[in-house]
Amino acid sequence: MVIKSLARIVGILGSAIAVAGLGASAFATDVTAVRFGAHDTFSRVVIEADSPIEFDAFVLAEPNPRLVVSLPGAQWRVSGLDNGQGLGHGLFEDFRFDPSGLHPRLVFNLDGPSRINQEMVLDPTDGGYRMVIDINPSTQADFIEAAGFPERSQTLTQLLAEHAQIDALAGVCESPRIVVDAGHGGRDPGALTRFGGGHEADVNLAAARVLRELLEATGRFEVVMTRESDVFIDLEDRVRIARAAEADMFVSLHSDAAGSSSARGAAAYVLSSSGVNRSRTRARREGDWFLPDAANRPDEVNEILFDISMGDKLNRSYQFATELLSEARSVTPLLRERPEHRGFLVLLDAQFPAVLFEMGFLSNEQDSRNLNSDAHRRRLMASIVNALEDHFPSCGQSPGVQFAARTDGAAR
């Protein structure tokens, strides 16, 4: 798990308000106005409050570009906008005030990839304290790189540390563990062959074996297979295998089929926002937070860890899926140019990034011939290896500081 340090602490009441944000409202700050300005090169939002306030501003890429401003202890008191929603201007499409999370937050839907250019707090002149945030348009690549949940406030970090040891793993050299999942198998053949060669389960397994061979040949990855023969494995069991392996990336291989024989090309899928909600609902209901040692922590803390973990997972999944498609396009036509969002069960786990790769269509004659060709499979799997090598910098190149919530206190 990588937590980007974007925390911006402003205001003399900093730590006191952070405590208030964890539950009490003794130090509540009223948000009294939200204003926008659109300029040639940037867009500005001004959030006005009746007292100085600690805030964290960060961008999220998934499921759509957003600017999130976390406002511990804030209450919505904007006259004329009693429902906490409004339209934006410039790069800001619209916004809503969301009091439901650990900290109240303002969420701005953005027009496209953007980055935070500057943040500042201006003292009152006539009105209240003003938090000013300027954003610029950015490239998709820079946006994905910068997006993510920030390191939380000191108070929260301490709270989490009491319940799950947070070890700095910077500089620790370890082989990324890739879980390779050959879709279907046994009594579930998946898509049936129409042009000769194997059914989907056979094609997926043949590809998975090549992927393992190529990954191991790099000497850089550990590989765990969810199945190594033509056996039926429950979807939940595939997830369990990946969790037990502490996967750094889960790659599920499938072959598509469509009614029309003209549909062809590869596609990559990552978890959708409805999938995230499904995952959270199930976690709440079953008390299964996809987290090690969850039973020994209060659910409030589990939910925070789940949020951090899920935000990080979504960003990493999307980033890898993008890299994968850009490598694969030289080997196969693409059904879709960019990763798509789906609620597939094997993608739901919050613990590890996961991508489902549809390698092509068995219902298309050319794709089917390719998928049954050893040479083509080898080229296609090599493109996945290239993407994984890009995604996981080799030892000594790892940027930033990594934190992982662990229970055994040991860096692996």
Q: Residue numbers of the site for Zn ion (CB under 5 A)?
A: 183, 190, 254
Q: What is the closest distance, in whole angstroms, from the C-beta atom of residue 381 to Zn ion in the complex?
A: 17
Cβ–Cβ < 8 Å for 253, 331: no
Closer Cβ to Zn ion, 186 or 393, answer by number: 186
Please state, in angstroms and rounded to a whole number, the distance separating the CA atoms of residues 21 and 100: 12
Q: What is the closest distance, in whole angstroms, from the C-beta atom of residue 371 to Zn ion in the complex?
A: 12
Please state, in angstroms and rounded to a whole number, the distance separating the CA atoms of residues 151 and 149: 7
Instruction: Please give, one letter per residue, the 3-state secondary structure of 27-91.
Output: CCEEEEEEEEEECCCCEEEEEEECCCCCCEEEEECCCCCEEEEECCCEEECCCCCCCCEEECCCC
Closer Cβ to Zn ion, 289 or 344, answer by number: 344
Closer Cβ to Zn ion, 56 or 358, answer by number: 358
Q: What is the closest distance, in whole angstroms, from the C-beta atom of residue 341 to Zn ion in the complex?
A: 17
- How many CA atoms within 13 Å lie on the side-chain side of 255? 33
Backbone angles phi and psi of 84, in degrees to 5: 75, 20
Is the backbone of residue 84 left (phi > 0), alpha (psi -120 to 50) or beta? left
Give me the residue whose beta carbon is nearest to Zn ion.
Answer: 254
Please state, in angstroms and rounded to a whole number, the distance separating the CA atoms of residues 261 and 282: 38
Closer Cβ to Zn ion, 177 or 254, answer by number: 254
Closer Cβ to Zn ion, 190 or 198, answer by number: 190
- The token duo for 232 is 């039926």
Closer Cβ to Zn ion, 236 or 408, answer by number: 236
Q: What is the closest distance, in whole angstroms, from the C-beta atom of residue 289 to Zn ion in the complex?
A: 28
Q: What is the closest distance, in whole angstroms, from the C-beta atom of residue 267 to Zn ion in the complex?
A: 12
- Quick check: helix, strand or coil at residue 248? coil
98 exposed, middle or buried (CB, 10 Å; 0-12, 13-18, 19+)?
middle
Closer Cβ to Zn ion, 72 or 185, answer by number: 185
Closer Cβ to Zn ion, 147 or 267, answer by number: 267
Q: What is the closest distance, in whole angstroms, from the C-beta atom of residue 257 to Zn ion in the complex?
A: 8
Closer Cβ to Zn ion, 163 or 254, answer by number: 254
Cβ–Cβ < 8 Å for 342, 329: no
Closer Cβ to Zn ion, 135 or 347, answer by number: 347
Q: What does the DSSP assignment read for 98-151?
A: E-SSSS-EEEEEESSSEEEEEEEEE--SSS-EEEEEEEEE--HHHHHHH-SPBP
Closer Cβ to Zn ion, 73 or 190, answer by number: 190
Q: What is the closest distance, in whole angstroms, from the C-beta atom of residue 202 to Zn ion in the complex?
A: 12
Angle between helices 374-391 and 200-218 (to 10 degrees): 50
Q: What is the closest distance, in whole angstroms, from the C-beta atom of residue 36 to Zn ion in the complex?
A: 46
Give the count of beta carbons closer than 10 Å to the beta carbon of residue 107: 17
**Ranges of H-type helices in 148-286:** 154-163, 200-218, 235-244, 273-286
Q: What is the closest distance, in whole angstroms, from the C-beta atom of residue 281 to Zn ion in the complex?
A: 25
196 exposed, middle or buried (CB, 10 Å; 0-12, 13-18, 19+)?
exposed
Q: What is the closest distance, in whole angstroms, from the C-beta atom of residue 223 to Zn ion in the complex?
A: 20
Q: Which residue from 348, 341, 176, 157 is spatially nearest to 247, judged by alpha carbons?
A: 176
Please state, in angstroms and rounded to a whole number, the distance separating the CA atoms of residues 334 and 134: 37
